[in-house]
């Protein structure tokens, strides 16, 4: 009667003594057939419930490493903390390593410190650079699984990616932009926080490809390297508006939307359509005030749940599963905002 469970667990499941279970498992006789069936049933029950059996008492220390504006890091932290009760009976503890910008060497040093110190897993949002890819390899070699969040490092040794299909998100933005601009003239400003984040690059490619196919006459004006920060974003947007008086709409891939709108206002320019990403606290307010046309959003709680589950699977605490599917892309307008965003 093969099984992977300790006698104590089988006895508890069957409501029998450990001695009785031992006799059944070792075929010593002296037990009723009904008792044998009870032991077999207990093993079958434990096998179905083995996920929970293995999780009881398990604590997973996970490091969350992100280069992102504070508003997005805060949203990720809140999403993870909201999901923690649903991960029980496992206990997930987290260490946060957040930064808005900075040299890649500092980010690599953070990842290498985690590799030396040890961790059950790393959830990582980082630029797609060779130095970062190499650091992910060192983490993996040290036995630390890495899950990329929102933006992928596809050539790295990462375990999984959680987030949306970014090309599809960009194409969705182009569809909305084309529908809402209609036949009105005007160019579209596309704004990236950095050209080194793969998610932003893929969104831009999806947007540009769909716009060329459906609206080839409409010019796209790109700005980048504002890091999604209002202080740097304002100057970039204002300069673009001064160079091109035909800009009438914005696809904000990398954030800094308060500064973008301020630049339009300071120059007395109207923004006819403004499509952004993520219901962080800035975008929630702007959408509520009807200053954004729509926000392409996805469930960060689902992303954090999937990331934690991927780490648990890597340690054998959850059964194997297929590839993580992309998060659903939600088109949020001022009229269908989630209840949490309305509070």
User: Span 322-341, mean pLDDT?
Assistant: 89
Residue scoring higher pLDDT (266 or 49):
266
Looking at the predicted structure, is the pLDDT value of residue 51 above 90?
A: no
User: Span 133-143, mean pLDDT?
Assistant: 98
Q: What is the average pLDDT value for the chain, to the nearest integer?
A: 91
Confidence at residue 56, expressed as pLDDT on a 0 to 100 scale:
60
User: Span 244-272, mean pLDDT?
Assistant: 96
Summarize pLDDT for 61-87 with one digit per residue, the tens.
899 999 998 989 999 988 998 898 888
Token pair of 128 as six digits = 């797609």
Helix (H, G, I), strand (E, B) or coil at 92: strand
pTM equals 0.79
Confidence at residue 90, expressed as pLDDT on a 0 to 100 scale:
81
Confidence at residue 170, expressed as pLDDT on a 0 to 100 scale:
98
Confidence at residue 77, expressed as pLDDT on a 0 to 100 scale:
87
Strands 330-332 and 294-297, by their bridges, are antiparallel
Residue 115: closest CA among 139, 135, 94: 139
User: Span 301-306, mean pLDDT?
Assistant: 95
Residue scoring higher pLDDT (15 or 109):
109
Confidence at residue 315, expressed as pLDDT on a 0 to 100 scale:
93
Looking at the predicted structure, is the pLDDT value of residue 199 above 80?
A: yes
Number of helices and strands (H, E) in the chain?
A: 14, 11
Q: Give whole-number Cα distances, 275 to 12, 82, 142, 175, 261, in Å.
A: 57, 27, 42, 11, 12
Q: Is 268 left (phi over 0), alpha (psi -120 to 50) or beta?
A: left
């Amino acid at each position: 009667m093969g099984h992977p469970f300790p006698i104590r667990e089988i006895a508890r499941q069957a409501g029998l003594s450990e001695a009785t279970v031992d006799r059944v498992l070792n075929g010593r006789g002296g037990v009723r057939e009904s008792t044998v069936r009870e032991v077999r049933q207990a093993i079958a029950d434990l096998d179905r419930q083995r996920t929970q059996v293995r999780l009881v008492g398990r604590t997973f220390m996970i490091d969350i490493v992100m280069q992102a504006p504070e508003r997005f890091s805060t949203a990720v932290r809140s999403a993870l903390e909201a999901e923690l009760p649903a991960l029980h009976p496992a206990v997930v503890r987290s260490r946060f390593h957040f930064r808005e910008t900075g040299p890649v060497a500092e980010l690599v040093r953070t990842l290498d410190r985690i590799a030396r110190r040890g961790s059950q897993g790393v959830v990582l949002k980082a630029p797609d650079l060779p130095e970062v890819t190499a650091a992910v390899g060192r983490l993996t070699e040290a036995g630390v699984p890495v899950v990329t969040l929102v933006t992928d490092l596809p050539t790295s040794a990462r375990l999984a990616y959680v987030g949306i299909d970014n090309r599809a998100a960009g194409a969705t933005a182009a569809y909305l932009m084309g529908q809402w601009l209609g036949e009105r003239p005007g160019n579209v400003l596309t704004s990236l926080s950095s050209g080194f984040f793969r998610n932003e690059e893929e969104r831009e490619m999806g947007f540009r490809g769909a716009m060329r196919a459906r609206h080839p006459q409409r010019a796209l004006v790109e700005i980048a390297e504002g890091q999604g920060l209002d202080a740097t974003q304002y100057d970039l947007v204002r300069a673009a508006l001064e160079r091109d008086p035909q800009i009438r709409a914005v696809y904000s891939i990398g954030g800094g939307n308060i500064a973008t709108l301020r630049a339009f206002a300071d120059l007395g320019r109207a923004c006819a359509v403004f499509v952004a990403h993520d219901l962080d606290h800035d975008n929630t307010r702007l959408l509520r005030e009807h200053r954004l046309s729509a926000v392409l959003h996805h469930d960060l709680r689902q992303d954090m749940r999937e990331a934690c589950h991927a780490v648990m699977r890597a340690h054998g605490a959850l059964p194997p599963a297929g590839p993580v599917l992309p998060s659903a892309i939600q088109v949020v307008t001022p009229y269908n905002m989630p209840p949490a965003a309305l509070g």
